[in-house]
């Protein structure tokens, strides 16, 4: 089951990267790690750096993809972003976004970008 979830997640991240690129984002990093935390996608658009958490589901049985993101996960993403910004000081402005993707029968049925998530 774990490998199936991992495959779904990887497929969702591929879809998210393609979606963001088509919307004018420049993908800078994928699966960037610091300590035991990971940013799914780090992208730039204009002078702003976006830390994007991607959640992919194959059904809505357990709720919408975005509903599975915990406050703890977002706090870890914040700490990771602080480290990334420390290492790359040219980025003055950052933003946190969530990409929610529902895939049914290998097709993205819903792709939803939630911008500027506040936590």
What CATH number corresponds to the domain at position 6?
Answer: 3.40.1350.10
Asked whether 95 and 119 are in contact (CB, 8 A), the reply is no
Structural domain harbouring 39: 2-114
Q: What average pLDDT score do residues 20-46 get?
A: 95
Q: Considering the domain boundaries, does residue 69 fall inside one?
A: yes
Higher pLDDT, 106 or 92: 92
Give the Cα separation of 62 and 85 in Å (integer).
Answer: 34
- The pair of three-digit structure tokens given for residue 34, joined into one six-digit string: 């610091």
* Angstrom distance (rounded) from CA 61 to CA 29: 31
pLDDT tops 80 at residue 2: no
> How many distinct structural domains can be found in the chain?
1
Mean pLDDT across the chain: 89
Any domain includes 119: no
- The pTM of this model reads 0.89
> Which pLDDT score is estimated for 60?
78
User: Residue 85 falls within a domain, yes or no?
Assistant: yes
For 63-87, the pLDDT digits (tens) are 888 888 888 888 999 999 999 999 9
């Amino acid at each position: 089951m774990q490998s199936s979830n991992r495959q779904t997640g990887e497929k969702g991240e591929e879809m998210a990267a393609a979606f963001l690129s088509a919307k004018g984002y420049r993908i800078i990093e994928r699966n960037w790690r610091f300590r035991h935390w990971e940013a799914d996608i780090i992208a730039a658009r204009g002078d702003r750096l976006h830390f994007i958490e991607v959640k992919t589901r194959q059904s809505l049985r357990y709720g919408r993809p975005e509903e599975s993101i915990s406050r703890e996960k977002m706090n870890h993403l914040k700490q990771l972003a602080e480290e990334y910004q420390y290492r790359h000081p040219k980025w003055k402005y950052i933003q946190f976004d969530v990409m929610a993707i529902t895939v049914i029968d290998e097709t993205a049925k819903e792709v939803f970008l939630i911008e500027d998530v506040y936590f």
